[in-house]
Structures are given as structure tokens and as C-alpha cells.
């Protein structure tokens, strides 16, 4: 079974631009969560989507948004990029058919904002 | 979200057992204890989880204290590939019914050859 894939793997943008990152979950998984990882703040939860609905959102500004499609693939968008948005963005998928499903992480997208 | 406390770093020698401790004194009766690890330049990967009794899988063992206020992840024979940051997590269930992993700083495990 193919794992979680994320595209692109690396991205360089400039301040003020916007960016869209993509995540394809493991086949059959309906839940996709997004996390941001920085050296200073560590891994922080951004949001989770399940069956095309956002179920929970972390403490990030409204510039961070996401969506999920009917095939469970998910995208996250960051508008008006700031230098502090430079980070590794990870997505994780899970079955979410019972409490405390194991989450499977992708390799991440490394975003650099110049 | 229930908080966990882990040592910042630990060292081990290859082929020796490693015991990674985690304190979670504010754990509730329904909180599962999860362990994930993150190898260099990779996303986190699930290691093991448990509720009350000790658990074993092909990667590790999880020993849970009787009062559930602490747990220990046991790697029976550390290899160089086990060098990673290990996270002890008590996933919270949000209002929306979703599960949220709240990562702390974790324990950076160094394995010496």
C-alpha cells in the first residue's frame, strides 16, 4: 500500500506570495491532518479534515486554510506569506474508524520564504 | 490537553536496551498513551500505544505504571536506525470528535556504535 505523499517536497517563495501544498492520504483513509514543524516551536497542529469537513483547527491565523476533496486528497493554502512561515509542513492520514487511530505521516513539504 | 514530560536527550549503545521515560501525571482515565518517533529528515512515525496494560509490538514495548502517571518505551536492542526524536503523546479528542496529536519537545535518542 502506498504511503502518504506530499507535493511538492521543496518550495521557495517570497514574502507576500501565497502557496498551496498537496497531500494524498493512504488509500481508504478519510482523515487528513496538517502540522507545521519549526525548530523553535516544534510540531504544531494546524487542522484536520474528515469527509471534506474541517473537524478541528489549531491556533494559526486565518492566512492558513485547507480543504479536502471527495477522494480524501487535501490541500492547504497559506496566503500573504511571512518569513516566519518557513517550516516543514507535514500531513498525516488515518482511518478514523475508532478512537485513537494511528496517524501515518508523509515526508513533508519544506517551505522557505525569502 | 494532558501534558507529558520527557528528558530532552538520552544516549545508548548499539545492541543495548533503551528505556525512554515519560511522565503524564494529569492523565485522565480514558487517555491513551501514544509514542511516535521522528527519524532525521522524515515525518513522524507511529511506534506504539496503550491504555492500561503493557503492550508489545515488533518495534518496541510500552510499560505503563499502575497509576498510569508514567510510562516507559522500551527498545529491546537499539540499532543505529533507532536514533530519532521520540514523542510521548496523549491525544486529545476535540469538540468536533477528531483526534489531535499535541507534540512536545520529545527525547532525542543518540545511539552510539
CA–CA dist A13, B21 (Å, integer): 40
pLDDT, residue B29, reads 82
User: What is the pLDDT, as a whole number, of residue A17?
Assistant: 98
Kindly tell me if the per-residue pLDDT of A1 is higher than 90: no
Helix, coil or strand: residue A44: strand
Closest approach of B13 to chain A, Cα-based (Å)? 27
**B38-75: pLDDT as tens digits:** 999 899 999 999 998 899 999 999 999 999 999 999 99
Q: Which of B83-100 are b and which e, b meaning 16 or more Cβ less than 10 Å from the residue's Cβ?
A: bbbbbbbbbbeeeeebbb
Closest CA to A92 of A26, A8, A1, A11: A26
Q: What does the pLDDT average to over B11-31?
A: 92
With pLDDT > 70 as the criterion, what percentage of chain A qualifies?
95
Task: Please state the rounded mean pLDDT for residues B82-101.
Answer: 79
Q: How many helices (H) and strands (E) does chain A have?
A: 0, 11
CB count, 10 Å around CB of B24? 22
Query: What percent of chain B stands above pLDDT 90?
Result: 69
Minimum-distance CB partner of A100 among B43, B91, B105: B91
What pLDDT score was predicted for residue B48? 94
Which among A43, A55, A108 has the least Cβ separation from residue B98? A55
- Do residues A40 and A83 touch, judged by C-beta distance below 8 A? no
Is the per-residue pLDDT at B97 higher than 80? no
pLDDT value, residue B67:
93
Nearest-CA residue of chain A relative to B89?
A100
The residue of B29, B60, B98 whose CB has the most chain A CBs within 10 angstroms, and thus the best one to mutate to test that interface, is B98
DSSP 8-state class, residue A98: S
**Average pLDDT of the residues in B86-93:** 85
Contact B43 A108 (CB under 8 A): yes
The 10s digit of each residue's pLDDT in A53-106 is 998 888 999 999 999 999 999 999 999 999 999 999 999 998 866 656 788 999
User: Does the pLDDT of residue B92 top 90, yes or no?
Assistant: no
Amino acid at each position: 500500500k502506498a504511503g502518504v505523499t506530499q507535493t511538492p517536497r521543496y518550495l521557495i517563495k517570497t514574502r507576500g506570495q501565497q502557496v498551496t501544498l498537496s497531500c494524498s492520504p493512504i488509500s481508504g483513509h478519510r482523515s487528513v491532518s496538517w502540522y507545521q514543524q519549526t525548530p523553535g516551536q516544534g510540531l504544531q497542529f494546524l487542522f484536520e479534515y474528515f469527509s471534506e469537513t474541517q473537524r478541528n483547527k489549531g491556533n494559526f491565523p486565518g492566512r492558513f486554510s485547507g480543504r479536502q476533496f471527495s477522494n480524501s486528497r487535501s490541500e492547504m493554502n497559506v496566503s500573504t506569506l511571512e518569513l516566519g512561515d518557513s517550516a516543514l509542513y507535514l500531513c498525516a492520514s488515518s482511518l478514523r474508524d475508532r478512537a485513537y487511530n494511528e496517524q501515518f505521516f508523509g515526508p513533508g513539504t519544506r517551505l522557505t520564504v525569502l | 490537553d494532558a501534558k507529558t514530560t520527557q528528558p530532552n536527550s538520552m544516549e545508548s549503545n548499539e545492541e543495548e536496551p533503551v528505556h525512554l521515560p515519560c511522565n503524564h501525571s494529569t492523565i485522565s482515565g480514558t487517555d491513551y498513551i501514544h509514542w511516535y518517533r521522528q527519524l532525521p529528515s522524515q515525518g513522524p512515525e507511529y511506534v506504539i500505544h496503550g491504555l492500561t496494560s503493557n503492550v508489545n509490538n515488533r518495534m518496541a514495548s510500552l510499560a505503563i505504571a499502575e497509576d498510569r502517571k508514567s510510562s516507559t518505551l522500551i527498545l529491546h536492542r537499539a540499532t543505529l536506525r533507532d536514533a530519532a526524536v521520540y514523542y510521548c503523546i496523549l491525544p486529545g479528542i476535540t469538540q468536533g470528535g477528531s483526534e489531535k496529536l499535541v507534540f512536545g519537545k520529545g527525547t532525542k535518542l543518540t545511539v552510539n556504535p
